[in-house]
Structure 1
Amino acid sequence: MTHSHSHDHGPAHPASRRLRTVIAAVLIPFALLVLAGLLALWPDDPGGHDRSGVGFDTQRQQARVTRVEEVDCAEVNAQSGKPPAKGGRPETCERATVEVTTGSDKGRTFKEIVTPDALRRYSTGQEVIVSYQPDAPPEVQYAVVDVVRSTPMWVLAALFALIVVVVGRLRGVASLIALAITFAVLVLFILPAIIQGSNPLLVAIVGGSAVMLIALYLSHGFNARTSVAAIGTLASLLLIGLLGSVFIGWARLTGSTDDFTGLIHSQYPGIEMSGLLLASVLIGSLGVLDDVTVTQASAVWELRQADPAAGWRQLYGAAMRIGRDHIASVVNTLVLAYAGASLPLLLLFTTARVGVGGLVTSELVAQEVVRTLVGSIGLVASVPLTTVLAALVVASDRPAGRRPGAASGSGGRGRRRKR
């Protein structure tokens, strides 16, 4: 999930050595703890793990549909031993001839039957993915499991990268690098470490913190403004983790609510599913958190440059007026993102005869409600947390050569002439 606004407010005003020392005293130990956590929790085999052989990790090959013909469904059912369809109405099925194009069985063909109610259809020349079960009878060793969609996915990724670079320029390049590192941390550390049996919450905190530090500093530069945003993000993550732990335990959410989570639990019983749910809450909120904290920190710095004489209370009040508008859009974004991800589930409950109370308190929906509300509380709290921290830091900063309370610009020179 991403939620981005432009934060390119120009270079941050140089901070004093005292301020840089204070911020470094907070962030350097934290960064060292994150590094130590990465080293301690790093999986033994980040590139792979024990194979379960239950569907996602079976042998797969590429294939091509060479012919599609219409056949009578009754004939197909008779050949396979299935009872004829009820109603006596003849139905037309499709029989696709598929040729394996990779692997040791390259050139081998098999038949795939497509019934009238099937969601996926095939056309001659279409590239598909087939699974291979060597221990199965020869006639059912191969089956189509997916279609090849590499071209549209790569074109979409290239279009995304092009637009980011054209609009964001150097910042856009930096954000793409940060995105690649985020993906690498997720694939090489977070997922393998959880599968290996490490505590999902601890892995999410360490991995999420590493992603946060890398993404923030790469995208927004090494300066005091980014550092304040990082501290605000960290504080909000800790709040989300605390609230998530309390309410997931209080609501007795198991984290195992569908076929995928049930499959994970059956194949890797050592994984704590409720901890995995909490980890997903943290990681899902992180993408919006850094946007909110950077926006608020940038707003305070811009307000300070516009009015150097403003105190921290004035800066906080003005920045919070910006933050309140941001809160409304961010919370709505998060709720819609979770609703969109759970739309098929919501459709099923809409058609079922279940009251609103039973709907919300069922584990399937309650899990998403807790995920959404806990994440939203953390996001809302990040606005005043980051704003007050940025206001205090900026108001207390005394760059070298500037006396406390001294005004800058021609107004200050005019007052000195009067004295």
Structure 2
Amino acid sequence: MAHTHSHSSVADYGPPRRRLASVLTIVVLAIAGVAMAAMAALWPDADQVPRDQNPYSGQGVTTVEATVTGIEPFDCNSGGEGPDGIQQVRGDCAHITATTDDGAATFDLDASRFKAGIDRGDDVKLIRIAPEGQSVSYEFLDFQRGLPITALAIAFSVLVIAVARWRGLFAIVGIGVTMLALTKFMLPAFLAGESPLLVAIVGSTAIMIAVLYLAHGISIRTTAALFGTLVGIGLTAALGLGSTMWTNLTGVGSENDQILIATVPGIDLSGIVAATMVIAGLGVLNDVTVTQASAVWEMRALQPAARGASLFASAMRIGRDHIASSVYTLVFAYAGSAMTVLLLITAYQRGLAEMATTEEIGTEIVRTLVGAIGLVLAVPVTTLFAVWLAPKATEPDQLEIVTAGGSHAGPVGG
């Protein structure tokens, strides 16, 4: 199996490092084999995965698509404190008329949903309730978002391929591989009661082997990044397990968590919290390790005679900048996804220190800190692998040999 593309690095010349390529091929294939064997052992049978009845597929209950044709606000006395002590939205409710494939439908929106916004012409999904022998009624379920989401996904794919070309295409294929691993293996295994952390490690290892070589090509450079990534996964898993136990994170921090544990009583939510720390950090971890390996290769090309210690020190200067920006990325990603919770904390005038120790916020803080520690430790580890595997002054990168035609090829292991 060969990988071919143009390359102009001055380090890409000389005879192939066939022995190193062969050794790395064996090592990578061994890791992949262990991951596949572990995945097969952990793969749950269909009857082992708990399944609850879809609440919208019971007898006489279906979902239908509709288009809003009329909106009539009315006073529903909404406001003040509800029976459970939660503040209710003040304002009008709305009587909505819509058209479906079967004809007209009417339903009411509560004040919070109506205030969020709905207009004539909006495409919505409704719950159609038709008990035997009774009249049909409708309830609002959600807006139809299939078309805009599909359009955004297509635009994203086209732009990635247009800018990154083959690497962009392979990166998109890698996303598909990731989604398959998550939906067909990891999520069912979590539900079936397999060890969440072990499932996360095995699944993440398989994902990274596929994604790294798909997106970045088959080379010794990519293999160096892979080794650093795998060490980062292991470190993050160990830190996640220890931190979850130390901080007593149970995984029950929201209404959805309570519904899940009621639906699947045997699920290990605390273990899933630790597992998500591994999964959540994969993207940034991959970015850091690939960048560090590439930095070492480029510096070796510019300074072929540089000593290993000097090369490591130079690459770590780049790594420190990358660590800083990656940590910000993790924090900003959480702040953006948890904005509603943060706004509610501010509105309640509760101190951040107080809220940081709650299950819901504390879980995200620990997840962010563990992910950050894992990627910070992965930087020097990846740099060491890259310095060790990068071509020396008299031993250029043999898996990227520039030919007269400007292309190069190399065996799988590198």
Question: Shorter-chain TM-score: which interval?
Answer: 0.7 to 0.9
Q: What SS does the corresponding residue of 1:28 show, helix, strand or coil? A: helix
Structure 2 counterpart of 1:70, from 47, 69, 72:
72
Q: Distance in 2 between matches of 1:224 and 1:261?
A: 43
1:142 deviates by 3.1
The answer to whether the aligner puts 1:37 opposite 2:44 as a matched pair is no
Q: Distance in 2 between matches of 1:370 and 1:206?
A: 22
Amino acid aligned to 1:113: D
Deviates more, 1:170-179 or 1:197-206: 197-206
Partner in structure 2 of residue 179 of structure 1: 175
Q: State whether residues 71 and 94 of structure 1, in contact with CA within 8 Å, keep that contact through their aligned partners in structure 2.
A: yes
- Label 1:356 to 1:72 Cα distance change in 2 as closer, same or farther (>3 A): closer
- Label 1:243 to 1:66 Cα distance change in 2 as closer, same or farther (>3 A): closer
Spell out the pairing of 1:6-405 with structure 2 (5 A cutoff). 13=12, 16-45=17-46, 50-54=51-55, 60-65=62-67, 67-70=69-72, 72-73=74-75, 93-101=93-101, 106-107=102-103, 109-117=104-112, 118-133=114-129, 138=134, 141-394=137-390, 399=395
Instruction: Write out per-residue CA displacement over residues 360-385 of structure 1, whole angstroms, 9 at most, x where no aligned residue.
Output: 22222211111010000011111111
- Superposed CA RMSD in Å reads 3.0
Q: State whether residues 43 and 189 of structure 2, in contact with CA within 8 Å, keep that contact through their aligned partners in structure 1.
A: yes
In structure 1, runs of 5+ residues without a counterpart are 1-7, 78-89, 403-419
Q: Distance in 2 between matches of 1:199 and 1:71?
A: 51
| TM-score, scaled to structure 1 | 0.81
In structure 2, runs of 5+ residues without a counterpart are 1-5, 79-89, 399-414
Q: State whether residues 60 and 129 of structure 1, in contact with CA within 8 Å, keep that contact through their aligned partners in structure 2.
A: no
Q: Distance in 1 between matches of 2:70 and 2:380?
A: 62
1:357 deviates by 3.2
Q: Distance in 2 between matches of 1:322 and 1:381?
A: 14
Q: State whether residues 68 and 122 of structure 1, in contact with CA within 8 Å, keep that contact through their aligned partners in structure 2.
A: no
1:57 deviates by 9.3
- Label 1:359 to 1:136 Cα distance change in 2 as closer, same or farther (>3 A): farther
- Label 1:64 to 1:37 Cα distance change in 2 as closer, same or farther (>3 A): same
1:197 deviates by 2.1
- Label 1:171 to 1:212 Cα distance change in 2 as closer, same or farther (>3 A): same
Q: Distance in 2 between matches of 1:40 and 1:55?
A: 34
Q: What SS does the corresponding residue of 1:269 show, helix, strand or coil? A: coil
Q: Distance in 2 between matches of 1:180 and 1:252?
A: 35
- Label 1:318 to 1:57 Cα distance change in 2 as closer, same or farther (>3 A): farther
Amino acid aligned to 2:27: V
Greater relative contact order (CA < 8 Å, ≥ 6 in sequence): 2
Amino acid aligned to 2:96: A
Number of equivalent positions: 376
Deviates more, 1:25-34 or 1:390-399: 390-399
1:226 deviates by 0.5
Deviates more, 1:330-339 or 1:343-352: 343-352
1:135 deviates by 5.3
Q: State whether residues 110 and 139 of structure 1, in contact with CA within 8 Å, keep that contact through their aligned partners in structure 2.
A: no
| TM-score, scaled to structure 2 | 0.82
Q: State whether residues 96 and 111 of structure 1, in contact with CA within 8 Å, keep that contact through their aligned partners in structure 2.
A: yes
Q: State whether residues 253 and 367 of structure 1, in contact with CA within 8 Å, keep that contact through their aligned partners in structure 2.
A: yes
Instruction: Write out per-residue CA displacement over residues 127-171 of structure 1, whole angstroms, 9 at most, x where no aligned residue.
Output: 211224555994575312011112211111111111101110111
- Label 1:350 to 1:248 Cα distance change in 2 as closer, same or farther (>3 A): same
- Label 1:310 to 1:72 Cα distance change in 2 as closer, same or farther (>3 A): closer
For the pair shown, the structure with the greater C-alpha radius of gyration is: 1
Q: Distance in 2 between matches of 1:176 and 1:119?
A: 38
Identity within the alignment, % = 37
Q: Distance in 1 between matches of 2:329 and 2:67?
A: 41
Q: Distance in 1 between matches of 2:309 and 2:319?
A: 15
Deviates more, 1:183-192 or 1:259-268: 183-192
Q: Distance in 1 between matches of 2:361 and 2:132?
A: 39
Partner in structure 2 of residue 87 of structure 1: none
- Label 1:122 to 1:394 Cα distance change in 2 as closer, same or farther (>3 A): closer
Q: Distance in 2 between matches of 1:33 and 1:397?
A: 35
Q: What SS does the corresponding residue of 1:73 show, helix, strand or coil? A: strand
Q: Distance in 2 between matches of 1:230 and 1:56?
A: 44
Q: Distance in 2 between matches of 1:268 and 1:93?
A: 36
Amino acid aligned to 2:75: C
Amino acid aligned to 1:248: T
- Label 1:379 to 1:259 Cα distance change in 2 as closer, same or farther (>3 A): same
Deviates more, 1:342-351 or 1:60-69: 60-69
Deviates more, 1:317-326 or 1:187-196: 187-196
Q: What SS does the corresponding residue of 2:140 show, helix, strand or coil? A: strand
1:256 deviates by 1.2
Amino acid aligned to 1:127: D
